[in-house]
């Protein structure tokens, strides 16, 4: 009888160690996803700041070129289109840093609902008594499931942010580059 109790305690202890290990691994993965997300936000913020300064300087310098009568009319039109492409790219970069706070995601047309006791929006939407009661009854299996859910949905957010970052960077560089080329052509015709 004592031997059977020792086996049960040993199995339970082994299960607890495995669960603790799984939870630690899931926390590590969540931390990794959050760092990826922050890196994307940081890159976008730096590029937005650089482009803001550059765009202001270039627009101020180009006003003379746009207002000159002897410059061909196509150059100002191309400059306007180039600047519009730059602004579109800039908007994508702003979209990267804009927080997405929804519990509903769409993946390949499929709607995915997410409800977690760890997600701040779900906590804020519940009543204090309900949250306290749910948290008190929170087990290791549910905690692991919630952390893994956070990892998954943070990965979805990272993918959305990095895709918008690539598009925004590409459009901004193309728009700004062609704008600068038109500006240089306009100054060379003076």
Tens digit of each residue's pLDDT (9 = 90 or more) over 114-144: 777 777 777 778 888 887 788 778 778 888 8
Looking at residue 32, what is its pLDDT? Answer: 78
What 3 state SS string does the chain have? CHHHHHHHHHHHHHHHHHHHHHHHHHHHHHHHHHHHHHHHHHHHHHHHHHHHHHHHHHHHHHHHHHHCCCCCCHHHHHHHHHHHHHHHHHHHHHHHHCCCCCCEEEECCEEEECCCCCCHHHHHHCCHHHHHHHHHCCCHHHHHHHHHHHHHHHHHHHHHHHHHHHHHHHHHHHHHHHHHHHHHHHHHCC
Mean pLDDT of 158-181: 87
Tens digit of each residue's pLDDT (9 = 90 or more) over 11-20: 677 877 887 8
pTM of full prediction above 0.75: no
């Amino acid at each position: 009888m004592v031997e059977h109790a020792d086996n049960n305690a040993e199995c339970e202890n082994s299960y607890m160690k495995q669960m603790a290990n799984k939870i630690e691994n899931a926390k590590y993965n969540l931390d990794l996803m959050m760092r990826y997300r922050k890196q994307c936000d940081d890159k976008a913020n730096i590029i937005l700041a650089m482009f803001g300064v550059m765009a202001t300087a270039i627009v101020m310098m180009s006003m003379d070129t746009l207002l000159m009568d002897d410059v061909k009319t196509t150059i100002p039109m191309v400059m306007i289109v180039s600047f519009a492409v730059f602004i579109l790219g800039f908007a994508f970069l702003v979209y990267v840093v804009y927080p997405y706070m929804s519990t509903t995601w769409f993946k390949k047309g499929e709607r995915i609902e997410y409800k977690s006791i760890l997600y701040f929006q779900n906590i804020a939407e519940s009543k204090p008594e309900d949250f306290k009661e749910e948290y008190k009854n929170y087990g290791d299996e549910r905690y692991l499931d919630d952390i893994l859910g956070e990892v998954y949905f943070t990965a979805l957010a990272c993918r959305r942010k990095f895709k918008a970052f690539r598009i925004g960077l590409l459009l901004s560089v193309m728009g700004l580059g062609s704008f600068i080329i038109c500006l240089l052509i306009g100054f060379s015709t003076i």
